[in-house]
Amino acid sequence: MPHGFEAFLGPWSYPTFMAPHSFAVIHGILILPALCHYRYLLITSGNTVSPWIILRNVFISFLAGSFLGICLGYGVYQASSRPYDHYFQFVTHEWIDADGTTPYRYACDMVS
């Protein structure tokens, strides 16, 4: 369920906006170890660390974020080919109340 401006564009836009959104989230998480590794090398070896190390680390996190962003965008594309109510048959009754709402929310849905 989109909460941004893609909600006004329709279901065709969900995979298009999911790929860069998931890339930004995943790359933001994966870049932290890359930067910490470079800072660790700076602290332990002094100022003799090659700047190519940080570029290599950021490039690896960029590749991983791109790959996962493409995979999630494709997953949304595949999921959108099925009807909206298709997945409710796989959800147990503990997750959905009698009125059709659910008491469970994802952390990312609570932001918007």
Name the DSSP class of 9: T
Rounded average pLDDT over 18-36? 88
28-80: pLDDT as tens digits: 888 999 999 989 998 998 778 888 999 999 999 999 999 998 998 888 888 88
Distance of CA 38 to the CA centre of its chain: 24
Residue in this structure with the two tokens 């950021």, named with its chain if needed: 58
What CA–CA distance (Å, rounded) separates 87 from 69? 22
Residue extents of the structural domains in the chain: 12-110
And the tokens for 8? 């006004």
- What sign has the CA pseudo-torsion 22, 24, 26, 27? positive
77-93: pLDDT as tens digits: 888 888 777 777 777 66
At 100 the pLDDT is 63
Rounded average pLDDT over 102-112? 54
